[in-house]
Amino acid sequence: MKALTLTADWAPRPEYALTDIERQTRKIRNGCMVWKNPRISVGDCPDPTPKDDEVVIQVAAVGICGSDMHMYEAGEDGYMLYPGLTRFPNILGHEFAGRVMETGKAVRDLKVGDLVAVEEIQWCGECASCRRGFVNHCDNLEELGFTTPGAMAQYVSVRARYCWKLDELADRLGDEREALVMGAMVEPTGVSYHAMFNRLHTWQPGAYVVVFGAGPIGLAAEALAVAAGASQVIVFDTSASRREIASRLGATQVLDPTGLNLNEVLLDLTYGRGVDFVVEAAGAPEHTLTPLTQSLAVNGTITVIGLAGRPVPVSLVHYQQRGVQLAGSLGHAGHGTFMNVIRMMASGKLDLRPMVSARMPLDDAPSAFKRLESREDAKIILLPN
């Protein structure tokens, strides 16, 4: 089969203390501390075969994520930018949907021909974290497209339990190909859904919401906030093209934060009450969260999705005085998240088609990555088959 593979040099920084497990497995918790000179290429790889509990999926659509970009991009010193769990060489791609082509002998709930979207978080189901319900923080976590072969390929093999059928969405759209493209949007939307509705149960219709970052995760958070009844959804991004997409998705205000006093702007827009719900999807908390003080509403919630490379200061006294709650969020698995996102799409309440700025064949993946360096697109979808 054809696939896009990322290769990088093993070059642990002198200050990074590798664990014995990291040395043995080359599965690194903090990729930017070890992997140097990342590079991508499209070539031939062996076709996957399913284990007893797995299915082989013919990949119909796969999105290029910000995390994919951060694995592809390097800093001035040559080290990749992505600070998370990684192992290379590896096939990239984790936002995808496709058609079941083969099933393992223990698979019962899926059959050949089923259309599915697939979780990227590969939780074990047996460790203490999984048994407590925190599958996104599995003690034995693997991540498809990060540590195991991903979906920027014609075929991928995954456990059946990570798959969610797209029947409702295909019925709603009346077009299986379009349902599969939207199916590739379930994973990034699930990341925002988990952060907003699962991590802290503070969401209320009528909330004043601010979203920092109008990349795919931030745009999905915006669309979810609109669908869930927010009275205002204020989006900040420095990219004019992404601000345009945010406007089309229903934001009440879309602003370039450059040079703005965030507290003054947000207090003015919320009639002096402050924002009830903050989504940090920009990965730049020094510019988004650090300045927020008086503009946080009493009992406000902050959820952090974007990955930042270094610690930043926040004004805890304002959090105490106003009863502000801060939650870090990672992943999208569990809690029925995929099921609920698919249902929202199928209901028509969540239409993410304006986010898809280009559809390209897998052979054009290197040029798609190059195009995304400008951060002008919202979502490029690759079509491997």
Q: Active-site positions?
A: 67, 70
Peptide bond into 89 cis (omega under 30): yes
Other CB atoms within a 10 A radius of the CB of residue 357 amount to 16
What angle do helix axes 186-193 and 337-347 make, rounded to 10 degrees?
110
Kindly give, in sequence order, each residue whose CB lies less than 8 Å from that of residue 384, ignoring residues fewer than 6 positions away: 2, 59, 60, 62, 151, 152, 153, 154, 361, 362
Which of 218, 214, 281 shows the shortest CA–CA distance to 242?
214
- Phi/psi of residue 246, each to 5°? -60, -40
**What is the C-alpha separation between 190 and 113, in angstroms, rounded?**
24
CA atoms within 13 A on the CB side of 99: 14
**Which pair of structure tokens corresponds to residue 356?**
């898809």
CA atoms within 13 A on the CB side of 164: 26
- Contacts by 244-251 with C-beta closer than 8 Å and gap 24+? 245/214, 245/219, 245/354, 245/355, 245/357, 245/378, 246/211, 246/214, 246/218, 246/219, 246/222, 248/354, 249/219, 249/222, 249/223, 249/352, 249/354, 249/355, 250/222, 250/223, 250/226, 251/211, 251/222, 251/226
**What is the C-alpha separation between 340 and 338, in angstroms, rounded?**
5
**What is the C-alpha separation between 288 and 252, in angstroms, rounded?**
19
